[in-house]
Amino acid sequence: MSQAILFWCLTLAQGLLVAAMAMAAWRAAHGPRAQDRVLGLDTFYLNGMLLLLVFGVRTGGAIYFYAALIIGMLGFAATVALAKFLMRGEVIE
Amino acid sequence: MIRALFPHPLLALGLFATSLLMSGSVEPPAIALAAVLALATPQVMRALDAQTIRIRSPRAILALAGCVVIDVLRSNWAVSAIILGRRRHERRSGFIHVPLDLKDRYALAVLAVILTATPGTLWVEYDSATGRLLLHVLDLVEEEEWIRLIKDRYERRLMEIFE
Amino acid sequence: MTVADLPAWACVTVGLLAVAGAALSFLGAVGLCSFKTFYERVHAPTLGATLGMALIVAASILFFTLVEGRFMPRELLIGVFLTVTTPVTLILLGRAALFRDRTEFARDDASDDA
């Protein structure tokens, strides 16, 4: 019984995180400006990382933790690089 | 001698803990790897010639941490309420200028992290010549109140810790 | 201990923590979509990056500590890492947006004069 509660809670959490990723992707695709797209991408990375953590709890595997850590680091590097690029002020839109 | 081995003791301690957490064990090989990292990496930092951090009052750190945790919880609640659409009409957001007396670079970095990590406020720009900070606030009711809040709750404690 | 032997209170706590964290991240994404200006939207993802992340990390730590039978605070690394990096990215983004707004206003003024 309590295992079923855990299972459905984790499914609900995953559903919410996937919906959050979809909304972030929408923001990244629609803009309206370049900084909105970068912000959408950053949120997408963040929610993807949290989704992997929930996957880890669901399967009980340690590998998802390392995957989440790597996504976090790559997302950080990507967003910083993109923001720096926007700061130069000469971006072709 | 101790100074030569550990030019940045806090960094060494942090690396030791990080390495142990990554290995996920406290067996001798994991401890050996963590010790090597903690000894070798601060030597690399020596080449960067980073200023060492002086902490005046460790007790003030605890007070500040507690204050930040409470504020993060409270502002999470406030921003959730805004997103869910309560008080949509009277809310307005905007930029405010905060005059800061804080000069220490590390203290300013900590303040930037605190202000940005609390939902509802975003550190935008700091001018080190005039000490003025440009802050964006999501729910700007009273400008004076925000300035007083930042100066009382964070700046005073950060000055106790660093300066 | 395997997942099947987890006591009922642990299952419920882990599940509720995960759902609460995911709900906060979801709310942040809703804000990202519904706010009108960029500077308002920047505030929305911090919801998931602070408390949302902390709740999911807490769920994960509690789960693995109980299942493996020893204290496993591995996920704290992710928590510390995110707390330090999210402000950096958001500050950089805010400054980039301000810089672009200013240069664009300057360009508009210049073209008005000409």
Reported as a single tens digit per residue, the pLDDT across B146-157 is 888 888 888 888
pLDDT tens digits for range C30-71: 988 888 888 888 888 888 888 999 999 999 999 888 888 888
Same domain for B14 and B34? yes
Token couple for B96: 């405010």
Asked if residue C55 lies in contact with residue C35, where contact means CB atoms within 8 angstroms, the answer is no
Per-residue CA distances from B132 to C26, C40, C70 (Å): 35, 22, 49
Q: Which strands sit side by side in the sheet containing B132-137, from one edge to the other?
A: B94-99, B132-137, B121-127
Question: Within this chain, do residues B6 and B82 fall inside the same structural domain, yes or no?
Answer: no
Does residue B24 form part of some domain? yes
Hey, are the CB atoms on A53 and C28 less than 8 Å from each other? no
Q: What is the pLDDT of residue B89?
A: 64
SS3 A38: helix
Give the containing element (helix H, strand E) for B96. strand B94-99
B44 shares its domain with B89:
no
Kindly report the average pLDDT of chain B as a whole number: 82
B26 and B69 share one domain: no
List subunits contacting chain B, requiring 3 or more Cβ pairs under 8 Å. Answer: C
Domain span at residue B70 reads 58-162
Helix residue spans in B2-155 (DSSP H): 2-5, 9-23, 28-48, 58-83, 105-117, 143-149
pLDDT of residue C109: 61
Mean pLDDT, residues C94-107 taken together: 80
Report the interhelical angle of C76-113 vs B9-23 (nearest 10°).
110
Q: How confident is the model at residue C24 (pLDDT cuts 50, 70, 90)?
A: very high
Residue of chain C nearest A38, judged by CA positions: C93
- B52 in C contact zone (CB under 8 Å): no
Q: What are phi and psi of B125, to 5 degrees?
A: -150, 140
- Residue B28 domain-assigned? yes
Q: Is residue B117 part of a domain?
A: yes
Largest separation between any pair of C-alpha atoms in chain A: 59
CA–CA gap between residue B43 and residue B47 (Å, rounded): 7
- Cα(B122)–Cα(B114) distance, integer angstroms: 10
Decide if B147 contacts B96 (C-beta within 8 A).
Answer: yes
Cα separation values, B11 from B17, B161, C52, Å:
10, 18, 28
Which tokens sit at B76? 């999470």
- Shared domain for B128 and B85, answered yes or no, is yes
Quote the CA–CA distance of A51 and A12 in Å, as a whole number.
11
Q: Place B90 in a pLDDT band, splitting at 50, 70 and 90.
A: low
> Encoding tokens for residue B134?
């440009």
* Residue (of C59, C93, C11, C89) closest to A51 by Cα position: C59
Interface touch C31/B22, C-beta < 8 Å: no
Tokens of C20: 């609460």
Q: With a cut of 50, say whether residue A92 has pLDDT above it.
A: no
> Residue A2: closest CA among chain C residues belongs to which residue?
C8
Minimum CA–CA partner of B121 in chain C = C43
Give the pLDDT confidence of A14-64 residue by residue, as tens digits: 999 999 999 999 999 987 888 899 999 999 999 999 999 999 888 888 889
Map residue C42 onto helix, strand or coil.
Answer: coil
User: Which of A50, A52, A59, A84 should we substitute to test contact with C (largest number of C Cβ atoms within 10 Å)?
Assistant: A50
In a shared domain, residues B72 and B146: yes
Residues B122 and B62 reside in one and the same domain: yes
Does residue B53 lie in a domain region? no
Q: Which residues on C lie below 8 Å from A8 (Cβ)? A: 15
> Same domain for B44 and B15?
yes
Which percentage of chain C shows pLDDT scores above 90? 19
Under DSSP, is residue B52 helix (H, G, I), strand (E, B) or coil? coil
Contacts 24+ apart (CB under 8 A), A84-92: A84/C92, A84/C96, A86/A34, A86/A35, A86/A38, A86/C93, A86/C96, A86/C97, A86/C99, A86/C100, A87/C92, A87/C95, A87/C96, A87/C99, A89/C99, A89/C100, A89/C103, A91/A34
Write down the domain spans for chain C.
Answer: 3-113
**Residue A64 near residue A52 (C-beta atoms within 8 A):** yes
Report the pLDDT value the prediction gives residue C114, as an integer from 0 to 100.
Answer: 41
Over chain C, what is the mean pLDDT?
Answer: 84
Question: What domain count does chain B have?
Answer: 2
| Chain position carrying tokens 């010790």 | B35
% of chain B beyond a pLDDT of 90: 1
Which of C25, C77, C97 shows the shortest C-beta gap to A69? Answer: C77
- ipTM of the assembly? 0.86
The DSSP call for residue C4 is G
Q: Which residues contact residue C63 at a Cβ distance below 8 angstroms, ignoring those fewer than 6 apart?
A: A57, A60, C10, C14
| Bond into B29 cis (ω within 30) | no
Q: Residues B102-136: pLDDT tens digits?
A: 777 888 888 888 888 888 888 888 887 888 888 88
The reply to whether residue A53 touches residue C56, judged by beta carbons under 8 angstroms, is yes
Say yes or no for a CB contact (<8 Å) between B80 and C24: yes
For residues B30 and B105, state if they share a domain: no
- What number is the average pLDDT over the span B72-98? 81
pLDDT value, residue C111: 56
Same domain, B13 and B40: yes
